[in-house]
Amino acid sequence: MAIKAAAPEDYTPLQRALILLSATMATTLYATTILVVSVILPQMQGSLSATQDQIAWVVTFNILATAVATPMTGWLASTFGRRRTMIYAQAGFMFSTLACALAPNLELLVIARIFQGAFGAPLVPLAQATILDSFPKAKQAFATSVFGMGVVIGPVIGPVFGGYLADLYDWRWAFYMIVPAAAVGLAGLLLFIPDSRSRNPSKLDWTGFLTLCVAVGSLQLMLDRGNRQDWFDSLEILIEAGLAILALYLFIAHSLTTSKPFLNLKHLKDRNYALGLIFVTVYGMLNFTPMVLFPPMLQGLMGYPNQVIGELLGARGAGAVLGFFSAMWVGRLDPRIGLTLGCAIQCASGVWMMTFSVDVSFVEVAIASGLQGYSVGILWPPLTVATFRTIDSAYLAETSAIFHLLRNLGSSIFISLSVTALVRSSSINYGRLAEFINPFNENLSAAIASGAANISAADGVARISSGVAKQAQMLGFLDAFALYTAASIVMFFMIPLFRIGNRSSN
């Protein structure tokens, strides 16, 4: 029997704890699958006899399905009820995850990943809406701190445990490990999640829905394939960019002129919510990017094994836990204080990463990773509280969906920018560094004289070329880290613009 829907003040502490635990567990499981595939892609490619371009669709179509399904969250919740939508989404996510593990070929795996992304997408915004609707404002900072652990730590623990099980058995166990936990999460939703207190069934605005799907889907596809297709030198990327711009224009024009739009743009009149959407986009840009850049840097340049890389990602998770616990205390203060502190730590981690070299130690990388996790943990609760402080509870599902959609889009955009900066900067720096390999370079001449370098033998030239390539790639990573630091600085300028009041928008 589910907990009966009530006003936030009418729930008992035990009921709030059960709601929070159930919502957080469902969120953590979905978040776990976001990056777990990145660790097991090489195994999957070999097992399914796929090319690198073919296996990439396992990631691409999951991202597309998530992007398309997320905006539907508000309509689904208002039509079927928040609780029922979460239960069906969790059940679909559980069975599609099992289908991923059992997939005998690439085609069925891609289809299973599409369903996994589509069913999992509504869970995060609906869980957040449920928690905000179940806790009074004075306790929302604590609740969002606990909930945020699921959003942020899930993508960290997924690659760590998934990679370990894949090495021990095979890649399918990275999905198998999620299924029993998903069943427990489903039971929690059935038993403890209350339904929304208001429901407003309405017809689906197909024009708004389809134009937004085309805009978001085209943008995600462009971002995911842009680097492989050499960006705007590719006809495919030009078509996808054109479709995204045209569909976004049609969506905005339609939403402003129809009486019942798919997504109501009037919420953007709320100053805190509009600022929160911009802020969470930048937050998303900085959240996953280091987890994408660190593994190739540590493995390709420093030669760290997968286990050590997992430990370094674990340091980020440990930092995030500490950050969320700190946020429970900081949450008693003005949310802008927590935002400022989190941004400062994020900037510090970016500056720290810009000092890395190919000889960087395990401890230095662990410190940077831990600082990033801590900043992410301490930023999330005050950001959520400040963004939704003036939003009426009736609109929480819809506004939360856009909030998380932009967080995901921010991640996709910045990961693509960072990888492009890495690749192009590495290529440019290789050309520049290669110019110094000549007879007039005193350091090279000294190395040849001492026997440390030998340009008369093929293997000696190859070692020099490899060393130049390694240094050039390290410079590329430093340029990507500089982008990360610059984005962290941008966040500071938005913090003073938030208003801290108790008004609710209608």
Q: Three-class SS of residue 7?
A: coil
- Per-residue model confidence (pLDDT) at position 245: 92
Could you state, in order of their start, the residue ranges of all structural domains in the chain?
1-204, 205-261, 265-506
Distance CA 243, CA 279 (A): 26
pLDDT > 70? residue 490? yes
Res 258: pLDDT: 82
- Return the residue matching tokens 């070999």: 46
CATH topology of domain 1-204: Growth Hormone; Chain: A; (1.20.1250)
Alpha carbon 397 to its chain's center: 19
Q: What percent of the chain has pLDDT above 90?
A: 6
Q: Which alpha helices (DSSP H) does 6-70 contain, by range? A: 13-47, 52-55, 57-69
pLDDT at 200: 62
In CATH terms, is domain 265-506 a member of 1.20.1250.20? yes
Q: Above 90 in pLDDT, residue 75? A: no
pLDDT of residue 242: 92
Mean pLDDT calculated for residue range 485-496:
86
pLDDT at 304: 74
Are both 1-204 and 265-506 of the same fold?
A: yes
Per the listing, tokens 């445990």 go with 161
Q: Which residue has the tokens 């045209």?
A: 246
Which of 252, 224, 219, 168 minimizes the C-alpha distance to 416? 224
Lowest mean pLDDT among 88-97, 306-315, 411-420: 306-315
Least confident among 193-207, 334-348, 435-449: 435-449
The answer to whether 226 and 420 are in contact (CB under 8 A) is: yes
The residue among 436 and 348 whose pLDDT is bigger is 348
Q: Of 504, 506, 393, whose CA–CA distance to 8 is shortest?
A: 393
Instruction: Give the pTM.
Output: 0.75
Rounded Cα gap, residues 106 and 43, in angstroms? 13
Q: To the nearest whole number, what is the mean pLDDT of the chain?
A: 80
Q: Which of 207, 137, 208 is nearest to 396 (CA)?
A: 137
- In Å, what is the CA distance from 149 to each residue of 32, 194, 211, 471, 493? 11, 22, 33, 36, 26
- Given a contact cutoff of 8 angstroms between Cβ atoms, the answer to whether 407 and 287 are in contact is yes
